[in-house]
Chain A
Amino acid sequence: MDFPSTQFVPSRIMGTYQPIHQIGMWGENFKSIGNPSISASVIVEVDNKLENESETASHEMPAPSCKHDQEASKPFDKIQRRLAQNREAARKSRLRKKAYVQQLESSRLKLMQLEKELEQAREQGLYIGGGLEAGHLGFSGAVSPGIAVFEMEYKHWMQVQNRQLGELRTALNAQISDIELRIVVENGMSHYFELFRMKSTVAKADVFYVMSGTWKTSAERFFSWIGGFRPSELLKVLVAQLDPLTDQQIFEVCNLKQSCQQAEDALSQGMEKLQETVSATLAAGQLGQGTYFPLVAMAMEKLEALVCFVNQADHLRQETLQQMSHILTTRQEARGLLALGEYIQRLQDLSTLWATHPREPA
């Protein structure tokens, strides 16, 4: 007999939205990787949560095609469908768990290797102190107070950002006055400027931390250019959302795009020069005789310039936002800020989805 109701209608619900709620759990647990002793219990706890969720998920499945079967009204149909959904949910759960465990394993290996390298470096007398105890490296790398403070502040910054995006959405739909909208927009802009200030402070403490973008999600890091977004990328995302623009505005945006691109190119080439300089310094003289501390110290001096570049890149981002603010009307600026914020949220969702997407075992 034909059972059209066995088509997996709910797979759309399971496939797209459900995992993201469960993913939140996985994401939380990634942060505790630095403490291997609790990882075992975490897996068990998370595993139980997942099993429970997949059970509730199948309970809540609306299975709309059920309505068509109401004339036939066969409980057998419903039971079959629910069993199939349970099997599917359990299978996906097992795959996710496997991916997570694989990640944990490789992270543990990395951690052990890092600790070994650090020991070796210490033996060679290259690092003075550092205040690290072997076995307590931690994956957030938050060994400096400047970084720890920044990570805390950034968490808070993201919360405020999401709240402000909600305010922007409401304000744009509610047709409030331009004066009131101006206030919402100013808050949004100040909030970005606050981030640049935070980054400038932590760059002085550890510029490599800013360059690596550790505090951001993986998809955001994929687009990283000197510690953040390319201003020209931001413009591309913004401008597409801002139709209609007046001819004058189109002209001004074009000019801004071009000067932005030129400034970026100049900074990129400066960065390449910096890489060449540091590399040439390290490679000077004979290689193959072991390390040579004075060369490493010289290279470090040259590397100090990296802080200037990171600051310049952020300055460019800030100037780009400010120039757009001059060119656009208040309402356009509000839409632009909202578009930018949501684009970043999508990148973050992409990172989450990627991290928990089950992959074929190697």
Chain B
Amino acid sequence: MDKVMRLTTERGVVLFSKSSCCLCYAVKILFQELGVTPTIHEIDQDPEGREMERALMRLGCKAPVPAVIIGGKLVGSTNEVMSLHLGGGLIPLLRPYQAFC
């Protein structure tokens, strides 16, 4: 889907979320702790939300939210983000986008 593809190729950290999703909230908190401010797209507040959801699922996000994209590459959902973080691979990916106040 065009919109999703365009949004995923944005630079930086992109998070597809739903405003009612508490697991998405947890991922937002994690990014906050790591000093990163992702671009957040709440697909439940987007008129094309249904299509975006389908597009994300086609990309491989079963949930479909939260879906995390870093530097144009799909990282995945909560599972993948947590595994990456515990394995030490998340922070190197985020380093160009980290900004600690």
Residues of A that sit less than 8 Å from B by CB: 252, 255-256, 259-260, 262-263, 265-267, 269-271, 273-274, 277, 302, 305, 308-309, 312, 315-316, 319-320, 323
Contact = CB atoms under 8 A, between A and B. Distances in A.
A166 to B, nearest CB: 30
Main secondary structure of the interface of B (DSSP, over half): helix
A265 B22 contact: no
Given A270-B25, A315-B82, A323-B87, A302 B20 contact: yes
A269 to B, nearest CB: 5
Given A260-B86, A262-B30, A312 B20 contact: no
Interface size class of B (residues with CB under 8 A): 20 to 34
Given A271-B22, A305-B23, A308-B23, A263 B82 contact: yes
B47 interface: no
Contacts of A305: 21-23
Contacts of B83: 315, 319
Nearest to B87: A323
Nearest to B88: A255
Contacts of B30: 262-263, 265-266
Main secondary structure of the interface of A (DSSP, over half): helix
- 9 smallest CB-CB distances across A and B, nearest first, come from A270-B26, A266-B30, A274-B22, A266-B29, A266-B26, A273-B22, A319-B86, A269-B29, A273-B25
Interface in B74-91: 78-79, 82-83, 85-88, 90-91
Contact of A315 (B20, B22, B25, B79): B79
B34 to A, nearest CB: 7
